[in-house]
Chain A
């Protein structure tokens, strides 16, 4: 057999060496050090460490990695050139590694490097890495040189001089911080987490953002699903009202809707607290919703234990009933069993609490002061507007996604289900929705991401969300670059978390084929 025949089996000019390697495995090294170094995770870690070293120590390294080689003083080297050299040093090990691999393949399998598709892919990666690093680093250097924007990351440990009138008070100590195991003591002593620092103000802003986003996510999903089903309703009125809703909210800017709610809807409510609409101890005015605050008392743990026990027993019963249904075909009635256990045990906990120490909850009612209500809980006008605005806007998109998902289920499925004698409710629940969900979840993820990012429009309606607080910091300190990097990273993490969650849900809904 000639060397030619090893790769002539393929008609393609380019050869995927992985197939050939599988047929003719390379000789394995016995040396444990070599084996350890060959593991991908080790190689990647070493490479990342090398890149980190280059970036962190670049100021000193560039003298002999660039200036000495070019034989020019470092001050005379332009930004673009410096960035290209940095990118060169970053990409170089990868380049050498890929050449080394290609050479090995060429020697062992007699495949020339220009026909080795793995090598060509590696080179493309190297070029990509070079361009990205050089481009980004040129931009970074230009920001530092050509504008007069100072960059100081320590700005986050400064005292934050402005009141944040929403969310947890950032000027108070976090009492539970030192109770965290292992790192608690260190966290409690950290400069940036001391009361009144900029970091604490940003955290308060983040909590405000999350408060609004989570609530809006839940409400927009519920509303969106209802309207989405309404779009397919047989009832003319329901169908057309839903369609009008979707078209109006989907086709006008969110900012406009927020202004409309803030100034138009809340603006026509009485604003003076004494004129507020009163529903029991709930007061709705143009300044927000004041409602009783639920305080827990000493006997509250009994009630809590009852609830937890109810939850555990309820879930156990739920699973037991599902098994019974699988084995015998009797109806599961899971919800009835679950709620009996949950509410029963919860009631027992409540009774226990009353017997031992009186009521487990106390309500603190808002009372009218000269300008505002004091005591109780409060959802400010900004918060209400943001939650309602985000909900209404996103629900329109969710509705259309749900409609599309449901319509994607073939009509034959529905007819078959009806032919089996399922009610229309059962058809929807057992046949249509499980199949529709697979198509609904991916676009839904996009809407959730949009929602979380659109929450930064809160600045226009006077709500202290993360973006607003960061803007204040940026204004008072001038640290625009530092703050915007922090902001971008935070929103990125929020988005990634939502994506992760939705991907988990998506995976659990996929068809399990074997």
Chain B
């Protein structure tokens, strides 16, 4: 009796080992690339069912709430859409919430987890990366600080501006740069700080300041919004580097990957010539690099913790970087040709790491 029991026990143990190894084998066979489990912020967003995306909603070309039909548009808005499509597969009425933030509200909002990501023409700086405990994704727009003056003043460059009153948006890098630029020239100047872009352009129009300073793209956007743009000129001087990048809290590598590679996907798609129009043809492409990028075949893309076709979803929703640029930035009068924002193959800085 006892012997029989031992035998049965040994058999059971043996059988269970076989079964276990079978299960393990089975799993390995199912996926050559194990999909990463969503953790941290990504899991939180998936569970919540929508993405909180911090934008400004006040800068034409970047993020702008159209007062006529209550729709958001702009480069930053499109990257919010791209990220939503990457996470949820598509953008619906309910899975993307735009949180409109002033320049002074944005960092506390991010730190307090009120937004998951800032797509709010935020300059990537050393102190924000370290002191603010933020992290930056790939630069989506290379900008520089500029100066806009009424054409009637007859000012040719910053060196003519000694004694001027300058409207500036508070809480931005621009108020630091303008202080430095004028102090280094030994100029007298008066800063008039405003919390948002519309207030500052209204003050310039009312003549309460002589100069409006912000990123050149922002100036172009604001200039396109005034009644008669020809009354204002943007001076040729560029005061600073303003690489505008997505920002998120540091310490969550998976979330960082999701945001970063969403942006890179738009770069890479342009490099491969994939657009929202030809995506269906491209899915049938024989090119193995394009197949890998679009998640055809091996579930290679799911390594990031998203579905294997997240790149397809991004391109279907917003198109590649070139499309996003043409749709949003060209209308406010900033050509892409020859600028830093051209694709690296055309001499610009838009460059995705290798997709392999």
Contacts and interface: CB of A to CB of B under 8 A. Distances in A.
Interface of A: 146-150, 161-165, 263, 266-267, 271-272, 286-287, 369-372, 374, 380-382, 459-460, 462, 464, 468, 471-472, 474-478, 480
Nearest to A270: B207
A352 to B, nearest CB: 39
Interface of B: 103-104, 107-108, 111-113, 127-128, 131-133, 161-165, 167, 170-172, 175-176, 178-180, 182-183, 188-195, 199, 202-203, 206-208, 210, 249-251
Given A263-B202, A372-B164, A147 B191 contact: no
A272 to B, nearest CB: 6
A460 B199 contact: yes
Given A148-B133, A478-B133, A374 B199 contact: no
B147 to A, nearest CB: 13
Contacts of B108: 149, 474, 478, 480
Contacts of B188: 374
A176 B171 CA distance: 32
Contacts of B113: 146-148
A103 to B, nearest CB: 49
A372 B111 contact: no
A371 B209 CA distance: 9
B163 A471 contact: no
Contacts of A163: 175, 178-179, 182-183, 189, 191
Given A148-B113, A162-B176, A462-B192, A475 B171 contact: yes
Given A369-B163, A370-B163, A478 B189 contact: no
Contact of A165 (B104, B111, B127, B190): B190
B206 A462 contact: no
A367 to B, nearest CB: 11
A162 B191 contact: yes
A328 to B, nearest CB: 61
Given A371-B163, A472-B175, A478 B207 contact: no
Nearest to B183: A163
A284 B176 CA distance: 30
Nearest to A155: B131
B198 to A, nearest CB: 11
Given A475-B170, A477-B131, A371 B210 contact: yes
Nearest to A288: B208
Given A263-B206, A286-B208, A462-B194, A165 B189 contact: yes
A208 to B, nearest CB: 12
Contact of A372 (B128, B163, B179, B203): B163
A286 B163 contact: no
Contact of B192 (A162, A165, A477): A165
Nearest to B171: A475
B207 A462 contact: no
Given A150-B133, A369-B163, A462-B203, A468 B193 contact: yes
Contact of B195 (A164, A165, A460, A464): A460
A475 B102 CA distance: 11
Given A272-B207, A370-B163, A474-B104, A462 B176 contact: no
29 contacts: A147-B111, A148-B113, A148-B133, A149-B108, A149-B112, A150-B131, A161-B179, A162-B191, A163-B191, A165-B189, A272-B207, A286-B207, A286-B208, A459-B195, A462-B193, A471-B171, A471-B195, A472-B170, A472-B171, A472-B193, A474-B104, A475-B107, A475-B170, A475-B171, A476-B176, A477-B132, A478-B111, A478-B128, A478-B131
Which of the listed residues A148, A150, A472 has the most CB atoms from chain B within 10 Å of its own CB?
A148
A272 B190 CA distance: 15
Contacts of B189: 163, 165
A371 B202 CA distance: 18
Nearest 3 A/B pairs, CB to CB: A271-B207, A475-B171, A478-B132
A225 to B, nearest CB: 33
Contacts of B175: 162-163, 472
Contacts of A374: 163, 188
A165 B191 CA distance: 6
A89 to B, nearest CB: 30
Given A162-B175, A271-B206, A147 B190 contact: no
Interface centre among A150, A165, A474 (most CB of B within 10 A): A165
A462 B167 CA distance: 9
B170 A478 contact: no
Contact of A162 (B107, B133, B179, B194): B179
B165 A161 contact: no
Nearest to B210: A371
